[in-house]
């Protein structure tokens, strides 16, 4: 990569508000740029916000590979049957894992229904999600629903017999060398019933997040280990729906998808400017963390690849 462009990138971050906390770039398997700003450092655990959803998607793919799940077309009624004993909605009975992954389940989107945001006193988030009126037929509309992602975490716990965190540690974090030491600052919150929150709240270090992105850049393979099925990774990172709010780009299976400067790319996105952006044909992963402010997100996601990273590659 052109070192002059990378130097310009560093200056851009230092002088452009709102500032980033962290920027890390991996190219051809090597860290070529790593900067921490303000009080952040390499050992800092940072909140991924909705990037957590992409980790949940990875765990679904692993559960398929391990045989814990039969297919993506298994229904909520089959997997969470006790919640449907008094549920009359045929539409909800038709919701599948695939619908949850694609955000086309018809369940209420975040701005209309989220017990953690509106102070709901419900002790059962699953019942909260399933008993609220459905807004659309499954597959009819894209509606961004963290409740839907949370149901995926609940399903993982049910079918594997272990918490989502324990499952992640065994089959994803440990193989990647991702440090999930709670004493060092790692955390992942759970709902009132103890299910790890599938829509947000996971904290990881930037290098660990980069490992996760690099895993997807290599079709789910880490060294000689196929952690996630190749076909599942490819389906996850291709446009399954045109997407919409909040990122405004296409959507796969809990991954956003867009073409940037003629290059296919996909990214995990978290509220306020948390991104892990992968460019497979450039063998490049960009990790950025920012203050938890909405204005940060699209601003840096658009400019950093197009003005600095891609030109640095082409000019090398």
* Token output for 85: 């004993």
Characterize 237-262 residue by residue with b for buried, 16 or more Cβ atoms within 10 angstroms of its Cβ, and e for exposed: bebbeebbebbebbbbbbbbbbebee
Rounded to whole angstroms, the Cα distance separating 54 from 181 reads: 21
Q: Is the pLDDT confidence value at 118 over 50?
A: no
List the beta bridge partners of residue 244.
Answer: 249
Segment 207-229 shows an average pLDDT of 97
Q: Is the dihedral of CA 267, 243, 107, 92 positive or negative?
A: negative
Measured CA distances, 257 to 122, 181, 240, 277, 278 (Å)? 34, 31, 9, 10, 10
Percent of the chain with pLDDT over 90: 73
pLDDT at 119: 43
List the beta bridge partners of residue 46.
Answer: 204
pLDDT band at 83 (very low <50, low <70, confident <90, very high): confident
* Token output for 187: 């955390």
Mean pLDDT of the chain: 91
pLDDT at 240: 98
Phi, psi (degrees; rounded to nearest 5) at 259: -95, 130
Tokens 């402010």, residue located: 293
The answer to whether 200 and 54 are in contact (CB under 8 A) is: no
pLDDT at 207: 98
Segment 64-84 shows an average pLDDT of 95
pLDDT per position as a tens digit, 141-159: 999 999 999 999 999 999 9
pLDDT per position as a tens digit, 21-59: 999 999 999 999 999 988 899 999 999 999 999 999 999
pLDDT at 114: 60
Segment 62-84 shows an average pLDDT of 95
The answer to whether 98 and 73 are in contact (CB under 8 A) is: yes
Residue-level length of the chain = 316
Q: Is the dihedral of CA 195, 170, 45, 257 positive or negative?
A: negative
pLDDT at 293: 67
pLDDT at 82: 87
């Amino acid at each position: 990569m052109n070192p002059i462009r990378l130097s310009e990138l560093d200056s851009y971050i230092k002088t452009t508000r709102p500032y980033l906390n962290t920027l890390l770039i991996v190219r051809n398997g090597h860290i070529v740029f790593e900067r921490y700003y303000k009080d952040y450092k390499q050992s800092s655990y940072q909140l991924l916000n909705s990037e957590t959803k992409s980790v949940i998607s990875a765990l679904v793919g692993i559960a398929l590979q391990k045989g814990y799940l039969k297919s993506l077309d298994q229904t909520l009624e089959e997997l969470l049957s006790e919640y449907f004993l008094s549920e009359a909605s045929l539409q909800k009975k038709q919701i599948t894992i695939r619908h949850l992954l694609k955000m086309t389940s018809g369940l209420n989107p975040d701005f209309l229904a989220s017990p953690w945001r509106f102070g709901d006193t419900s002790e059962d988030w699953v019942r909260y999600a399933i008993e609220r009126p459905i807004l659309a037929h499954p597959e009819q509309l894209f509606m961004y629903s963290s409740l839907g992602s949370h149901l995926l975490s609940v399903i993982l716990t049910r079918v594997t017999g272990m918490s989502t965190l324990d499952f992640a540690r065994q089959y994803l974090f440990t193989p990647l060398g991702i440090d999930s030491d709670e004493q060092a600052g790692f955390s992942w919150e759970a709902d009132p019933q103890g299910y790890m929150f599938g829509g947000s709240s996971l904290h990881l270090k930037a290098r660990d997040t980069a490992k996760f992105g690099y895993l997807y850049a290599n079709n789910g393979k880490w060294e000689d280990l196929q952690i996630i099925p190749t076909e599942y990774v490819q389906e996850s990172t291709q446009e399954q729906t045109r997407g919409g709010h909040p990122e405004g780009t296409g959507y796969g299976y809990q991954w956003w998808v867009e073409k940037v400067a003629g290059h296919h790319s996909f990214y995990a996105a978290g509220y306020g400017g948390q991104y892990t952006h992968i460019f497979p044909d450039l063998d490049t992963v960009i990790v950025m963390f920012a203050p938890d402010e909405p204005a940060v997100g699209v601003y840096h996601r658009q400019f950093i690849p197009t003005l600095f990273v891609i030109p640095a590659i082409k000019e090398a």
